[in-house]
Structure 1
Amino acid sequence: MDPTGLPFVIDLCRPILALRFAEPRRMLSWSISRPGLTVAKTVAWLEVNDSDLPIGREPVAVLEDAFARQGLTDTVGLMTACDVSAYEICRTTIEGTEAIAITTVGLGNGEFVGRRRFAGSAEEAPIPGTVNTFVHVSQPLSDGALVETIAIAAQARTVAILRTTESIGREIVTGTGSDCIVVAAPLGGTACYSGLHTAIGEAVGASVVEATRRGTVRWIEQSARWLESEADSNHPPGIGP
């Protein structure tokens, strides 16, 4: 996708993928840093592995230390075991309202909502995997509309994962145990509704479905290659994607 005309700059330098806005945005998320409603100019992913998260070290401390080294202050932060350069982006405009979705997809610890596979026991420890989704809406959204938008984004992400995993006969999941969504919009809060009947909801849904679909396909293809390489090796299996 052509990055020109985006309302933010994409700054990729592994292990960090940062989206930098020139002007502050109203954001809503359950990010491990700055969760809830907040105003920020940056959203960033941190790519980590097991060695980055030793026992006793709080993930938020790892995240904030990494961001501080890169001068990322007041950042809404996401953490993933995925390669952050493998992000997907989709841009949709409906009736003058633009929604941009960026996602990284890993389903190694996939779950089906309402039926846990991994309940925290060491014997069941999953392979790292997270679906992190960012959505920017071009219209200023009220607090209520931000909440509605995050619900639409969650619905769209789940539909994309369900359809894609089901279509190729893999175990069907609805997400992972560590997924996160961030929605952002300009300051002002003039739009009060963003549901499925609105242009905002349609644009958000379309962008998130397509970005998540592409990310899920990419993860499935990478997983197949990793399993092939592990099967051909003589050493014990390592951590997959």
Structure 2
Amino acid sequence: MARVDLRVTLASPWLGADLGRVRRVLSFAPHRPGFRSARHILIRQVRDADLAPDLDAMGWLGAEMARIGHGGDVGMMTSRGLHHHRLAHAGPVACLATVGLGNAERVGRRRMVSPGGYGTINIALLVEEGLTDAAMIEALSIAAEARTAAVMDAGIALPTGRATGTGTDCIAVACDAGGVAFAGLHTALGEAIGAAVHEAVLAGALAWVAEHGAEPALAAPGCTGALGI
């Protein structure tokens, strides 16, 4: 099968993934989450200094997307420099990822990140297969598993244990509607999803560690880091 064509454009402060045509998108993105139809998935870069505790991040992002004519698309945010994005392919799957780990967490052992400790992992996944609703949910779960494996492989040390992700990670899965009903680890599609996501996130995580080290900032009581970036 030919490599899936996920067209990526960088025009700061936006990183865009053109899905080629209107697709079904399942995500928990800040802008237009859930099951949606969209042609693009966009990631808006923000500066840590912009992230006031009282910021209505979702409303702000929606207004920013509407301003550039993409109010009907799916949107995410990152404080990571957009030039650090990573793109990986595996069979019928393409994965675009931005990886910041200042907000890293160990699953099941929440910590409170320090001011300026924002950072998130954004994943935009295009599957060139027609999936059922259930298969899209399964694909999103496989992407999350691959993200976790990649972060653990990067070896981020926290007081709570080895990091498994960040407190504000976001995943969007795009595909056409169709009859493919399974995307689990025993399937060729699940294998491709896992391979593409793991490659993109690990490359981004290792680049972040090379810049910042493997021990993100320690806890600061009362700061939740819940702005979604």
Q: Return the TM-score normalized by structure 2.
A: 0.85
Question: Does 2:137 correspond to 1:143?
Answer: no
How far residue 220 of structure 1 moved from its aligned partner, in angstroms, is 0.7
Q: CA deviation at 1:141?
A: 0.6
Instruction: Please point out which of 149, 156, 177 is paired with 2:146.
Output: 156
| Conservation of the 8 A alpha-carbon contact between 2:6 and 2:126 | no
Other-structure match for 1:237:
none
Matched, 1:52 2:47: no
Structure 1: gaps (5+ residues) = 228-241
Query: 1:40 aligned to 2:29?
Result: no
Any idea what the Cα deviations from partners look like across 1:121-157, whole Å, max 9, x if unmatched? xxx4460110111111110110000000000000000
Instruction: Determine helix, strand or coil for the equivalent of 1:190.
Output: coil
Question: Which residue pairs with 1:132 in the alignment?
Answer: 122
Match of 1:14 among 12, 15, 18: 12
Q: Which has the higher contact order (CA 8 A, sep 6+)?
A: 2
Query: Are the aligned partners of 1:136 and 1:184 in contact in 2 as well (CA < 8 Å)?
Result: yes
What is the CA-CA distance between 1:72 and the residue it aligns to? 1.7
Q: How do residues 56-95 of structure 1 correspond to structure 2 at under 5 angstroms?
A: 56-93=54-91
Separation in structure 1 between the aligned mates of residue 7 and residue 64 of structure 2, nearest angstrom = 19
| CA-based RMSD | 2.0
**Residue 83 of structure 1: how far off its partner (Å):** 0.8
Cross-structure match for 1:236? none
Asked if the contact 2:87–2:97 (Cα under 8 Å) also holds between the matched residues in 1, the reply is yes
Q: Which runs of 5+ in 2 are unaligned?
A: 217-229
Which structure has the larger Rg?
Answer: 1
- Residue 201 of structure 2 corresponds to residue 212 of structure 1: yes
- Taking only the aligned residue pairs, the percentage that are identical comes to 36
Q: How many pairs align?
A: 210
| Aligned partners of 2:19 and 2:126 also within 8 Å | no
Q: How far apart, in 2, do the equivalents of 1:54 and 1:126 lie?
A: 11
* Cα distance in 1 for residues equivalent to 2:27 and 2:180: 19
Shift of 1:90: 0.6
Cα deviation, 1:27-66, whole Å, max 9, x if unaligned, reads 1110111111111111000111234333433101221222
TM-score w.r.t. the length of structure 1 is: 0.81
After TM superposition, the structure 1 = structure 2 runs for residues 227-238 of structure 1, keeping only pairs within 5 Å, are: none
Q: Render the CA deviation track for 1:53-94: whole Å, top value 9, x for unaligned.
A: 33433101221222223222311101111111210011011x
